[in-house]
Structure 1
Amino acid sequence: MKIAFAEMNIFESLKIRRWEKGHWQYIYILLWRLYNVYRFITISSYRSRIIYSFRFKNHYHQFSNFTRSDRYPDLFKIAKKHFQDIEKPTILSFGCSTGEEVATLSEYIPHATIVGVDINKWCLKQATRNFHAPNRFFYHCFSQEFLEMNNFDAIFCLAVFQHPGNRHNSVQTESYYPFSHFEKKINELSEKLKPNGLFFIDHCDFNFLEVNIMKQYRIAPFLNNQCLRQRPLFNRDNKKTAMVQTNFRVFQKK
């Protein structure tokens, strides 16, 4: 446990200090890269992330596999109340990672069918092994099964459209992850959502209100929809506009 704790402290320190300008920056960058070589060799989850980020470079949105159960209880409670009287809703968890979000959603909404998709096949194997159930399904995002799916009652995109450099590099003024990629994927997902369906989005580098397709949506009238996040916000031109976000997180398709 002590080794793991010390290792985490080293990881967090290098992750932050590599962005600091000064004489030591190149040393920290070198140490960070050496540490990542160590992680690539010894940690299968990290190794899979690197492999798939290169393989699907233009389609990779989030460079972390981190997730946990019940990560967004306020949003899950909104979904639970909304779908309690809707028979057999079908819900998509986009960027499901290792499946904890899918399992959590099925606990909040047990009568729903939950579909989890991800670009990382290693994550999907873990999800299928640990969380498979009759009402839970896991697919690769480019699988024919998923490409043919539509008519979802809700889509969850939580902590997907973000780049670590945008958060950790305080002097960065332009987004590492372009708005055009974000908007393209939002458009693709929107085509899979039913009229009156709900689009949940949080921990995002951009504001959903700025996508052109927003004219097909309304801000969903739920309590606790708006939330303050201590993270930078970027606009359509990829420029940083704020260091703190106050965004709406649930939208309803017209």
Structure 2
Amino acid sequence: MSIMVTARQLKHSKHPLVRLAVYPLAKGWRMAHILKRGMTDPNYRSIIRLRLFNRQQVHQTSSTTLLNRYPILFHACRNYLYNHYKATQEPLNILSFGCSTGEEVLSLRQYFPNARIVGAEINLRSLAICRSHPVDDKISFIYSSPEEIQKHGPYDAIFCMAVMQRKPMDTARKGIRSLKNIYPFERFQEQIERLDPLLRPDGLLIVHFSQYNVQDTSIAGRYVPLGNYNQDDYQSPIFDRNSNIIDPPVSWNSIHIKKSSLS
């Protein structure tokens, strides 16, 4: 390992011949590391498959998640939806978009005991883990394609929690100031535009821990914020509609109510 550390340091040598000699060594070590990890880490293999075959559909590639990760937001959504729909006998229909290995869906069941909850996930390994959970017959896990998501709609709430972002920790660590070539704003906006018609009037669109703001998108005029629930605790950089960093960061809302009338 010390040899490789030395090689990395020599990559930045002032002498071009040294840099030229070290480059293939460092490159070869990196490729060997990738191959070894690909053979031993099934989660890493699933991420590589996403990057190769779902490049235009995928947002966040990490599968990291937790149970009851956003209790304040979940409570706020539950209170709004139950108060708003208390006169109807119809069960709520909820979408967890990018549900990873299913912990968010399991958490939402605690807040919405009678709702129909759909977890949509594009990572096939994560989806298989989702489907291994013992759940009730009102919970379903589906492959995250526009057609499959639409089939199970319309929805009263769509949760996009820590999904609409790309390598946020790397972005912070490397000091990246533009996402134009990594995860451009247009990708974010396109996904929001796809989700918007699937949400019923007066329903909730929850976009939390995101690198972009719903209020910068083309559908912003159709929504109003619910309270002052925001992502001020988000530790990674945020970006504007030109994919440029917002520095210093500003506050933006996480929970959006779809207007019942657009007049």
Pick the TM interval, shorter chain. 0.7 to 0.9
Q: Are 1:227 and 2:216 an aligned pair?
A: no
Which of 27, 39, 54 aligns to 1:56? It is: 54
Q: Is the 8 A contact 2:93 2:153 kept in 1?
A: no
Distance 2:258 2:224 in 1: 6
Aligned partners of 2:173 and 2:29: how far apart in 1? 17
- After superposition, the Cα gap between the structure-2 partners of 1:209 and 1:33, relative to the gap in structure 1 and judged at 3 Å, is farther
What amino acid maps onto 2:231 in structure 1?
C
Instruction: Report the counterpart of residue 9 of structure 1 in structure 2.
Output: none
Which residue identity is paired with 1:60? Answer: V
Residue 193 in structure 1 maps to residue 193 in structure 2: no
* 1:81 alignment partner AA: N
Mean CA deviation greater in 106-115 or 34-43: 34-43
Q: Which runs of 5+ in 1 are unaligned?
A: 1-13
Partner of 1:65: 63
Q: Is the CA contact (8 Å cut-off) linking 2:157 and 2:205 kept in structure 1?
A: yes
Bigger strand share: 1
Distance 2:191 2:145 in 1: 13
Find out whether 1:155 has 2:158 as its counterpart: yes
Greater CA radius of gyration, 1 or 2?
Answer: 2
1:174 aligns with 2:178: yes
The equivalent residue for 1:10 is none
Residue number in structure 1 paired with 2:35: 37
The runs of at least 4 aligned residues of structure 1 exceeding 6 Å deviation read 26-32
The question of 1:128 aligning with 2:131 is answered: yes
Does the residue aligned with 1:156 lie in a helix, a strand or coil? strand
Distance of 1:109 and 1:29 partners within structure 2: 51
Tell me the amino acid that sits aligned with residue 106 of structure 1: R
> Could you say which residue in structure 1 is the equivalent of 2:143?
140
How far the C-alpha of 1:131 sits from its partner, in A, is 4.4
SS at match of 2:130: helix
Conserved? CA contact 1:150–1:191, under 8 Å: no
* Corresponding residue to 1:77 among 60, 75, 95: 75
CA 1:32/1:218 → structure 2, altered by over 3 Å: closer, same or farther? farther
CA contact (8 A) 1:67 1:97 kept: yes
- Matches of 1:69 and 1:36, distance apart in 2: 30
2:241 to 236, 247, 253: 236
Letter in 1 for 2:172: R
Q: Could you say what secondary structure the match of 2:59 adopts?
A: coil
Q: Percent identity?
A: 30
The Cα of 1:31 is off from its aligned counterpart by 6.4
For 1:205, the equivalent position in structure 2 comes to 211
Q: What is the distance in 1 between the residues matched to 2:140 and 2:235? A: 33
Provide the rounded CA distance (Å) in 1 between the counterparts of 2:195 and 2:102: 19
Deviation (angstroms), 1:43: 1.5
**How big is the alpha-carbon RMSD for the aligned residues of Structure 1 and Structure 2?**
2.5
- Kindly tell me: are residues 177 and 28 of structure 1, through their superposed partners in 2, closer, same or farther at Cα, counting changes over 3 Å? farther
Determine the C-alpha separation between the residues in 2 that align with 1:232 and 1:129.
35
- Please name the residue that 1:23 is paired with: 12
Paired with 1:248 and 1:53, the residues of 2 have a C-alpha distance of: 30
1:91–1:154 contact (8 Å) kept in structure 2: yes
Q: Residue 45 of structure 1 aligns to which amino acid in structure 2?
A: N
Task: List per-residue Cα deviations over 1:109-129 (Å, max 9, x = no partner).
Answer: 111111000111211111011
Write the distance in 1 (CA, Å) between the matches of 2:29 and 2:105: 36
Q: In structure 1, the residue corresponding to 2:219 is in which secondary structure?
A: helix
Where 1:48 maps in the other structure, the secondary structure is: helix
TM-aligned CA deviation for residue 28 of structure 1: 8.5
TM-score of the pair, normalised by structure 2 = 0.80
Cα shift at 1:194: 0.2
Q: How many angstroms apart in 2 are the aligned matches of 1:212 and 1:144?
A: 22
Of 140-149 and 188-197, the range deviating more from structure 2: 140-149
